Structure 1
Amino acid sequence: MKTYLLAGFGGALAGLLLTTQLAGPLIAQEASKNASVYEQLELFGNVFERVRQDYVEQADDRELIEAAINGMLTSLDPHSSFLSSDDYADMQTQTRGSFGGLGIEVSMEEGLVKVIAPMDGTPAAEAGVLAGDFITHVNGESLMSLTLDEAVDKMRGPVGSDITITILRQGETEPFDLTMTRDTIRLTVVRTRTEGGAIVLRVTTFNDETLSTLETELAKAVEEAGGIDRITGFVLDLRNNPGGLLDQAISVSDAFLDKGEIVSTRGRHEEDTERWNAEAGDLAQGKPMVVLINGGSASASEIVAGALQDQRRAIVVGERSFGKGSVQTVMPVTADSAIRLTTARYYTPSGRSIQALGISPDIVVAQPRAQLGPQTAETEEEDANTPRSASSFNRSEADLRGALNNDSITDDQKRQIEAEMEAAEASAALREEDYQLAYAVDILKGLSAVAYDADQVPAAAKPAVTGEGSGTGGAPVSELAPEAGGTDAAPVEAAPAAPAAEGEDAPEPRPATE
């Protein structure tokens, strides 16, 4: 019996020693890590007290702490920041439809205020501010060394007051001034018009009103055109749309898709992954679609363009988009302040992250840049042959200081993306040599992008049947063709959706793609 007891005691003791040997270092490591954190917090407290006591002027405690918090967040990436009570109120106002100012979406790059996109119908857009412009001065005062919030405050003022901003623009050899009048910015989130049988849907931002306004305006445009059968297709214009709310981007994508994945977001932990799938119902009723994008199309705009492109529901035309593939969540931290924190990257249905890469259009079409001031024949010829500036002004997410890397793709995948973009740019260059041939190539690319198949066209609708001498007696095409409504797209099958996100009424932090 003593032998068994001794053996049992020895085993227990060995197990205890083994556990201590394994757990001891882990516990010590965690304790050391916590001690380091506390030491750093103590350092912050010491510096804070030194500033309070010895700074040349009396400093406001709250401003010091808020500046320290903002510095911590802005060091992470260009889109994380602290929202003071005023900033938080402004953000809530902007996502609800109206606010005062010039009407530009801006970011900070290399100490300069950079225009992501001017908003349609605003003082900035009417004065000629373009995406990619740098604002160096306001009313003659330099914005260098100011924070983004401080620079924005300089541009704010009473409605009706004049403001002069100094612009640095690619293609211009020197800065120039633009004068405009501050106004209350009432966002017209969706505008429609009809061009050549196609309905153009101009979406300027993604706020609380975007989907409902889109549905209303689209229905009104279809009715004014004489019904869906009279429509050749839809153009969804997302150029210079800087983004907005994630849920609105998902809803707008869903409005044109019958099924398939729209977007997925992946956070730091695997359990943070969420997927959103489309539900049946297509506002365009299967009609062909084209999405227009450019370098000012960012965030939520890229989600919509990527979803419709990957699901082969639309042809994407224009220029490479901004490349902001991260999601920010606004988290209240007090009753009147919050933090905007990058919490996830988003991925298009094919699984690609566009962070710092952007959406590459199926057909590259560069818009001629607007010319400032009168042009003579001599200056036009000179501008055509020589660049007006040797400077390069990049305007993408990848160029922002501290931007997140796109480590979700392999080198081979990145090379493939770059090769596809080069091929599209080569096709664009072909227009200079043989525009008709380039147009034919672009049509084929477009048909391929929406999964067009010639076998889907009924024999009665083909020119060989309906044309002269085809044996139909010259019957009108409309009598032989099938009922109008367009061909259905062939969306990619998606994985099952994750549990639904919190509803609008829930007081949880709301993700945004600003």
Structure 2
Amino acid sequence: MTFRTALLFGAAVLSGLTLAPGLSGLEGNGGIIAAAHAETAPAPATDPNAGHAETYKLLTLFGSIFDLVRANYVDPVSDRELITNALNGMLSGLDPHSSYMTEKQYADMQVQTTGKFGGLGLEVQGEDGHVRVVSPIDGTPAWRAGIKPGDYIVAIDGHNIDGAPLNDAVEKMRGKPNTKITLTIIRAKAPKPIIVTLTRDIIQIEKVRSELYDKTGYIRIPQFTEETGEQLRAAYNELKQKAGGKLSGGLVLDLRNDPGGLLTQAIDVSSSFIRNGEIVSTRARHPKDSQRWDAKGSDMTDGLPMVVLINGGSASASEIVSGALQDHHRAVLVGTKSFGKGSVQTIMPIPGNGAVRLTTARYYTPSGRSIQGLGIAPDVTVKESREEPAFSIREADLSHILKNQGGNQTKPPARSDLPELAAHLPDEPPENWPAFDVTKPTTDFQLQEGLRLVRSMAGVAAPDPAASLPPVKPSSDKPAPVKNEVSHH
């Protein structure tokens, strides 16, 4: 059997957002049946019929329970609902990213790739009956409302959704544009539930965006879609033109809260900065299905100093890029540890009956690391704030995750090329750092420290962004002398 090359790397189910759009299936109408036979493990016994006998016993058990439930459950239930629930259990019990989609759910997912539907712009993950936010997407209603990674959504329009299937919660959050929806959220360290009212909007994946800070370039990739590589190169060329032909202050690539997307685009983005060598490899159950992808022989920046920003919301495709750039010593990673999703999902359509989303391989960085459940550790740890805990949900926090195996090490290759300033960057904002405001880059501590570091790598002035802050306000329980009081407006 032959898989299409566009593999799915998204971290979670998306609510009111385009699903990480790498769709992949089996070619030919008989592919699913062939796959079922190919995946059957040989019986350990010498008798070739022993495995079949055990399978028949288990199928008989399934049939008995099916009849028992259909006849005795408190309410009538259709055969299709029972079978759908059984398929969901079979797949979701394997790992958090495998699932069965009904025909409607599969159609909805395909519609999501066009961006022509109403939603909130949330990526969510089901965990033990709870709905947890993986990431709000830039520029969407959820992002504007201040919903944060790690938040739990416990009620929709006042109705409790704890314990409900994740797909049901996602369906409730979708809806016609310009309609209202109220979410009740539980947040770490918040003394009581937070209630927010949002207006659904047409959700479209935000394109690659860029900014020029003096002569330092900044490029933000919110998700890896079909045009990400092309948009990246266009953004870089525009920055160069604005800077007078050269980004003398280096380049910052922002992959924070990027949930992933297309493998092909992760390779394309990595190859835009790495001249030679491996970008990523995947290892499947059967060696013939394993693959490796190498750089294309050019670096569009010609070796420009680079910093990559990552955090706990950086998953899958963004981890491929950051891992490749780290292993090749092409960039310095700044921020906090990434999500840790090192598996590949393939969408296998079943004509007339939806599709299966199945984990089919693990991926590995150029040095042979599997980051499954571990994540990519930054070269320089810089937290986004003093108050917030680390990103509260990662792959390792999920139930029955895929094991980390097959990698030759769990740590990146030792680096001797880090600039001197890297050892002196603070790991969290100072006490008097201003509250973060998405509209004000000067309040983004990770970004400001990333800019400072890459400028030092480029050999240009790299002032401390905290140096110009007003003095720390005196503690309220220790009044300062009147002569030292400063009024802030």
Normalised by the length of structure 2, the TM-score is: 0.73
Does residue 399 in structure 1 map to residue 397 in structure 2? yes
Q: How far apart, CA to CA, are the structure 2 residues paired with 1:286 and 1:226?
A: 18
Shift of residue 259 of structure 1? Answer: 1.1
Does residue 280 in structure 1 map to residue 278 in structure 2? no
Distance change (3 Å), C-alpha of 1:82 and 1:109? same
Output aligned runs, 1:344-355, within 5 Å: 344-355=361-372
Q: How far apart, CA to CA, are the structure 1 residues paired with 2:223 and 2:427?
A: 31
Tell me which of 262, 266, 273 is aligned to 2:279: 262
Distance change (3 Å), C-alpha of 1:57 and 1:26? closer
The match for 2:312 is: 295
- CA deviations 1:438-480 (Å, max 9, x no partner) are x9xx99x979xx9x9xxxx9xxx99xxxxxxxxxxxxxxxxxx
Which stretch has the larger CA shift, 157-166 or 115-124? 157-166
* Percent pairwise identity: 49
Q: How many residues align?
A: 396
- CA deviations 1:163-197 (Å, max 9, x no partner) are 11112222222221121111110111311111121
The match for 1:158 is: 176
Matched residue SS, 2:377: coil
- CA deviations 1:214-242 (Å, max 9, x no partner) are 23333233323332x24432211111111
**Structure index of larger Rg:** 1
Does residue 113 in structure 1 map to residue 131 in structure 2? yes
The match for 1:360 is: 377
Tell me which of 133, 136, 140 is aligned to 2:154: 136
Q: Compare the two structures and name the one with the higher helix fraction.
A: 1
Q: How far apart, CA to CA, are the structure 2 residues paired with 1:58 and 1:89?
A: 27
Shift of residue 27 of structure 1? Answer: 6.9
Distance change (3 Å), C-alpha of 1:213 and 1:97? farther
- CA deviations 1:279-306 (Å, max 9, x no partner) are 1222223211111111111111101110
Q: How far apart, CA to CA, are the structure 2 residues paired with 1:263 and 1:236?
A: 19
The match for 2:205 is: 187
Matched residue SS, 1:91: helix
Q: How far apart, CA to CA, are the structure 1 residues paired with 2:212 and 2:147?
A: 26
Output aligned runs, 1:494-505, within 5 Å: none
Output aligned runs, 1:416-427, within 5 Å: none
Conserved? CA contact 1:88–1:336, under 8 Å: no
Conserved? CA contact 2:383–2:429, under 8 Å: no
What is the root-mean-square deviation in Å for CA atoms of aligned residues? 3.4
Matching residue's letter, 1:207? T
Shift of residue 211 of structure 1? Answer: 1.9
Output aligned runs, 1:51-62, within 5 Å: 51-62=69-80
Q: How far apart, CA to CA, are the structure 2 residues paired with 1:156 and 1:430?
A: 37
The match for 1:216 is: 234
- CA deviations 1:131-174 (Å, max 9, x no partner) are 11111111111111111101111212221111111122222222
**Runs of at least 5 residues in structure 1 that lack an aligned partner in the other structure:** 1-24, 372-386, 434-438, 463-514
Q: How far apart, CA to CA, are the structure 1 residues paired with 2:159 and 2:354?
A: 29
The match for 1:206 is: 224
The match for 2:269 is: 252
The match for 2:469 is: none
Q: How far apart, CA to CA, are the structure 2 residues paired with 1:92 and 1:300?
A: 20
Matching residue's letter, 1:403? I
Matched residue SS, 1:52: helix
Conserved? CA contact 2:222–2:255, under 8 Å: yes
Output aligned runs, 1:288-327, within 5 Å: 288-327=305-344
Q: How far apart, CA to CA, are the structure 2 residues paired with 1:111 and 1:321?
A: 24
**Runs of at least 5 residues in structure 2 that lack an aligned partner in the other structure:** 1-42, 416-421, 432-445, 461-489
Distance change (3 Å), C-alpha of 1:176 and 1:427? same
Conserved? CA contact 1:95–1:207, under 8 Å: no
Matching residue's letter, 1:49? D
Normalised by the length of structure 1, the TM-score is: 0.70
The match for 2:22 is: none
Shift of residue 64 of structure 1? Answer: 2.0
